[in-house]
Amino acid sequence: MSDARTPAQIEADIVRRREQLAETLDEIGVRVHPKTVIGDAKAKIASTVDHTAGRAVVAVNRAVSDVKAQFVREDGAPRLERVVPVALMVAGLVGLLAMSARRRRG
């Protein structure tokens, strides 16, 4: 049995394949077009930045919660045994900076 195709069938196959090839080339053209490449790169960068920013926010929230836990009890009352020494150190540092600034001016 031979595959006897008519010239019309062969021509129809050629036309169909040309159309498929044209579609494929159009798709490739869109994918490699500079605007498409730039748009894809922008989307990828934005996604990466969003993901990184989200992780940073979570890390900062965790750090703030950890620091807060050091100075505030679970019931919301301040832990004076920790707050007072830190407040004294801050006051001393501010005093040293003020004295240093006065010495520079005078």
Q: What is the pLDDT of residues 81-100, one digit of tens each?
A: 999 999 999 999 999 999 99
CA distance 5 to 96: 99
Give the residues across from 72 on adjacent strands.
Answer: 78
Q: How many CB atoms lie within 10 A of CB 71?
A: 13
Across the chain, mean pLDDT equals: 92
Query: How far apart, in Å, are the Cα atoms of 63 and each of 53, 56, 60, 75, 90?
Result: 15, 10, 5, 19, 20
pLDDT, residue 3, reads: 73
Say if residue 1's pLDDT is above 60. no
pLDDT band, residue 2 (cuts 50/70/90) = low
**What does the pLDDT read at residue 62?**
95
Tokens 């040309």, residue located: 18
Residue 63 has what pLDDT? 95
